[in-house]
Chains A and B, each alone.
Chain A
Amino acid sequence: MSRSMISVPEGRRPALTLLMLVLLSACGPANVVVEGTFPEPLMEPLPLTMGIWYNEDFANHEFFDEAKSREESSWIVKTGAAQVQMWDKLLEGMFVDLVHMKGRPGPGQMNQVVDAVLIPHVVELQYAIPAHTNVKVYEIWMRYRFEMVTPGGKPITEWTMSSYGKTPTAFMQSDKGAVNLAAVMALRDAGANFATNFTRVPAVQEWLQQKWQKPARKKTAAKVSP
């Protein structure tokens, strides 16, 4: 058996392997799994039982940006888990009752009884770091599309919404840490935008009026009838 040119003492091999792995990991894309804590919204909950359905793409949402030159690095920003965490917290505070659907609402799909079901989608995500823009902020921009359907899957409405988060450069803060913080800010902004504008979406407004007028009419009719 031939011996290798460079011999490494037995005890140092794990350390050398670790060092090689560390050096090799620097060659791969910058991987950011977005992590953060999100507060409950401070608002009077709407008297609705809202269903929520996160599809696979949304719950495992990730963004990949390939490096355009040798000086740049590729980026993978995984927002899926943080998206679910934020939207769960927000919607639980916005509605009297929030129900996670067993499956995507549609004909033949057995689901819980709810007033409507929200299906969020991340349509687009863009990011900018100081190396791209020469501005001392890290930025994340997201565009969402929301579907609101009946429990049977019939569309009620759909609309789009954007969110933006930025964080300043800070001493001893890594690019990954700053992008994570910018993503958390963008998620908070998405929550703020949704919470303050949900009842202003014209089709939602109309649906709410119809929904809340129906029981009132029934009551009036009951009073009038002898």
Chain B
Amino acid sequence: MNRTALRCLLLIIVFSTSSACVTSNVDQMVFNEPTEGIGDSSVVILGRRHASDYETEPDFIECVGDHIASRDKSITVIGELEFINALYPWFEPRTAPLRPSDIDKLLLQEPVAMKMAELKTEYMIWIDGSTERGDSAGSMTCAIGPGGGGCFGFGTWSDDANYEAAIWDFTDRTEVGRVSTSATGQSYMPAVIVPIPIIAPVQGTACDGIANQLLEFLSSEY
């Protein structure tokens, strides 16, 4: 491989592994924090899906759950789909409890109460929010011909993530905390023959931010 090709390859690797900056902000308001963690109980993280113009992304909920479970192995996080399937039809967007007090009504049904006891759910965390694409600018032209193809131009866009997590204590049927996070970042895509995306990991940063705060609440190690 000649030196020019090697340089090009190096440049591509550098650009593709680099990422744009993200600004993140986390707020929390917590009461009745468990001092010794949640023990052998489990926690379930669910996405709110009531709004008509956005939907809390299932992969964001999975990201938060994975982050918590990987940092503290003693915490059992029940998967969102597993939980809503096990309790169908009581946690669908139409039927999901909106207030902690609604759980009482739900538990009046014996099969639901038995399933909840079986799952040992101590905390139920509802996450509401989404990552939205903001302003975008620039232009890019791509062409293809007999001799090959390529792109030329520059594009940039911003992403904004806003999420809020409400923590419900399942035993006391009360809300014991609220954590919110917002993250914003600008992504770039210069293209000289090959487009090189420099993506701002906005949703990932929001996920880490909210998951770390939830870990402080749930884990005895943090």
Whether A21 sits at the interface, judged by CB under 8 Å, is no
Whether A193 sits at the interface, judged by CB under 8 Å, is yes
A188-B55 contact given A42-B115, A44-B109, A168-B130, CB 8 Å threshold: no
Q: Chain B: which residue is nearest A196 at the CB level?
A: B95
Does A196 contact B89, Cβ atoms closer than 8 Å? yes
Does B54 contact A42, Cβ atoms closer than 8 Å? no
Nearest-neighbour CB distance to chain B for A184, whole angstroms, equals 12
Q: Chain A: which residue is nearest B96 at the CB level?
A: A192
Q: Chain B: which residue is nearest A139 at the CB level?
A: B52
| A191 cross-chain contacts in B, Cβ below 8 A | 88-89
Tally chain B residues at the interface, Cβ within 8 Å: 24
| A137 cross-chain contacts in B, Cβ below 8 A | 53-55
With beta carbons under 8 angstroms apart, the residue of B55, B110, B111, B115 that contacts A166 is B55
A42-B94 contact given A135-B53, A137-B55, A168-B57, CB 8 Å threshold: no
| A166 cross-chain contacts in B, Cβ below 8 A | 49, 55
Whether B40 sits at the interface, judged by CB under 8 Å, is no
Does B89 contact A188, Cβ atoms closer than 8 Å? yes
Give the distance in Å from the alpha carbon of A39 to the alpha carbon of B86 in the complex.
7
| B18 cross-chain contacts in A, Cβ below 8 A | none
Number of A-B contacts (CB under 8 A): 57
Interface of chain A, main secondary structure: mixed
Does B87 contact A193, Cβ atoms closer than 8 Å? no
A44-B53 contact given A136-B132, A192-B92, CB 8 Å threshold: no
Does B109 contact A195, Cβ atoms closer than 8 Å? no
Does A39 contact B85, Cβ atoms closer than 8 Å? yes
Does A192 contact B94, Cβ atoms closer than 8 Å? yes
Nearest-neighbour CB distance to chain B for A171, whole angstroms, equals 9
Does A43 contact B57, Cβ atoms closer than 8 Å? no
| A83 cross-chain contacts in B, Cβ below 8 A | none
With beta carbons under 8 angstroms apart, the residue of B55, B85, B86, B88 that contacts A167 is B55
Nearest-neighbour CB distance to chain B for A194, whole angstroms, equals 9
Whether A170 sits at the interface, judged by CB under 8 Å, is yes
Whether B34 sits at the interface, judged by CB under 8 Å, is no
With beta carbons under 8 angstroms apart, the residue of A40, A44, A136 that contacts B54 is A136
Whether A153 sits at the interface, judged by CB under 8 Å, is no
Whether B112 sits at the interface, judged by CB under 8 Å, is yes
Nearest-neighbour CB distance to chain B for A193, whole angstroms, equals 6
Whether B90 sits at the interface, judged by CB under 8 Å, is yes
Q: B interface vs A, CB < 8 Å? A: 49, 53-55, 57, 59, 85-90, 92-95, 109-112, 115, 130, 132-133
9 contacts between A and B (CB under 8 A): A42-B87, A42-B89, A43-B112, A44-B111, A135-B53, A136-B54, A189-B92, A193-B94, A195-B89
